Structure 1
Amino acid sequence: MEEWLRPNYRMKSIGEQDFAFHSHAQFEVYFFHQGDCKYLIHHSIYDLQPGDIIIMNGLTAHRANPSKFALYERSVVHFSPDWIYPVIEELRMPELLSPFKEMNNCLLRGQDEGERERILQSMKTMDHLMNEDSAFMMKPEVEAELKILLLTILMQIYKLSKKENQHLAMPKSEKVLHVEKIAHFIQTHFKKSISLEDISSELNLSKFYLSRIFKEVTGTTVMNYVMTCRLNQVKFDLEMYPDRTLVEIATESGFESQAHFSRFFKQRVGMTPSVYRRQKLKS
């Protein structure tokens, strides 16, 4: 069940917890409650406000960068579109998934307390049901209730996405705009050999300045972001192209050394690339 649906209601943390870049096959609904947090998705950076909702397709690398000095509280639901689609198809409402497919990992911000409260209440009930005894959770009526709750969330998000002023461009500081340009350059060049010097020259920023502001805004280093982009590309290709060799996939994703690729992959993912591929193809 957790591969199809994973709700987490009002998670709280503070201090030294590290939120690494990650990606996943599930769609994601992220609700920000409180804290001081910047959120990086692809090459967009959002300075979050309480009540903000981010909708993501999941495959794009993303991470939160909350302040270590403020309580960070959020609610999140991951769900498989394949799990809910038969119900959506039966209802003849395929547009309920359109915000996740067409809005390019969008932030929704506004004063629509009614819709937001219905989303939160559905998340809360969903989280409670998923934490019940596993034997109880396997009952068909429980799965049906979970699907109804998810449909409620999707309906509210669809309504929010259609309202004016919900996803207008937010004013951003010069520093954040610089970091977005750095991230965009990396996203479009990570498959090639890339260095701080290359980025510095392309964007006309000093290596010291771009390194400092990127770490300050995103919580990670420039070169770690480069490696994360490469890793996410490899993980996607391992699953989508089973006939291609590990060497081909690693090389085309920007890894110049096969030995370094294997060590890095196992260190970050916890298993070898070949084991990862076998597990994904089985599922």
Structure 2
Amino acid sequence: MKSHPFRIFAAYYYKWNKLPPTLSFHSHPQYEVYYFHGGRCDYLLGDRIIPLQSGDLIIMNGMTRHCPKIDRSTEYVRTTFSFDPHLVQLFGPELLACSPLKPFEQLRNHHIRLSPAAKAECEDILQRINRFYYSNDVVHHYRLLSAFYDLLLLICEQCREDMESNRSTATDRERYVQNMIAYIEEGYMEDIELERMAADLHMNRFHLMKVFREVTGLTVFDYLYRRRVNQAKILFYQSDRNSVTDVGYMVGFKHLSHFSRVFKKQVGMTPDQYRKLVRELSYTAYN
């Protein structure tokens, strides 16, 4: 049976206890959820040092530099995954009405010490996510989306008081990149030129490219093309009425050959192959 072609997480590790050779500060443009199962660890998040306890949950906007500082004498176990925020379009307008990403947008980076009941609920949801994440069944993919949505609502519930009383501040570098991403988000369907972007954001072109690369790990155009491809995947996923050419134009590619080349490089198959696979799996799920 074929794997479902649409994964909702950019990176995913469940109850992961393996250690990389080195641990260093890093940042990225995706939102991240980090859950600490056990061990001894201080989490470095920007200028904060957070001593962790089993059951602690951290949400991050990704652009603040972060890194765990662990005691290697004990087993270090965590669940962590990152995701592109625009992918919540898959939930549809009715489920988005409650703003499930509001904690990430308003608090940016937030440490939550869960109560025993909330800890048990969170671990149950994470277990459900893991149960369906690697499944080849397309129905399980929708159950994965449901579990992920449930986790976002749990986070909203846990952050409600802090969102009412708190206003998080971003560093200058994060603010610059947030403005760049907002600029791309507003105009990724059209041509984006670095000179015009820098002028519109009142930044030096070379400083803009340097800061974006340092914070996200991507060039501006790498990010732009990935955003376009992800939107194309969403459009194929939501409807089979649009042709590959139509979708390419809708997400900002002017030439079908360029769209196909970039799409295949990122996804591992051509847009037409991806579209046919989504249609086949959707048909299998409902027949």
What do the CA deviations read for 1:77-109 (whole angstroms, capped 9, x no partner)?
A: 99xx9xxxxxxxxxxxxxxx9689523353373
CA 1:267–1:101: 2 relative to 1, 3 Å: farther
Q: Distance in 1 between matches of 2:204 and 2:149?
A: 49
Give how far 1:157 is off. 3.7
Q: Distance in 2 between matches of 1:250 and 1:151?
A: 29
Give how far 1:237 is off. 1.5
Question: Residue 193 of structure 1 aligns with which residue?
Answer: 191
Question: Residue 75 of structure 1 aligns with which residue?
Answer: 80
Question: Residue 33 of structure 2 aligns with which residue?
Answer: 30
Question: Residue 122 of structure 1 aligns with which residue?
Answer: 124
> SS of the residue aligned with 1:247?
helix
CA 1:198–1:48: 2 relative to 1, 3 Å: farther
CA 1:273–1:64: 2 relative to 1, 3 Å: farther
Structure 2 runs not aligned, ≥5 long: 37-41, 71-75, 89-93, 136-143, 282-287
Question: Residue 182 of structure 1 aligns with which residue?
Answer: 180
Question: Of 100, 111, 120, which residue of structure 2 is paired with 1:103?
Answer: 100
Alignment of 1:184-223 (within 5 A): 184-223=182-221
Q: Percent identity?
A: 19
Mapped contact 1:9–1:123 kept (Cα < 8 A): no
The TM-score, its normalising length taken from structure 2, stands at 0.60
Question: Residue 114 of structure 2 aligns with which residue?
Answer: 113
Alignment of 1:205-244 (within 5 A): 205-244=203-242
> SS of the residue aligned with 2:254?
coil
Mapped contact 1:8–1:127 kept (Cα < 8 A): no
Give how far 1:125 is off. 5.6
What do the CA deviations read for 1:26-67 (whole angstroms, capped 9, x no partner)?
A: xx98225465568xxxxxxxx996644449xxxxxx978876
Question: Of 257, 268, 271, which residue of structure 1 is paired with 2:269?
Answer: 271
For the aligned residues, what is the CA RMSD?
A: 4.8
Aligned length: 233
Q: Distance in 2 between matches of 1:165 and 1:232?
A: 29
What do the CA deviations read for 1:213-234 (whole angstroms, capped 9, x no partner)?
A: 1111111111111111111111
The TM-score, its normalising length taken from structure 1, stands at 0.61
> SS of the residue aligned with 1:102?
coil
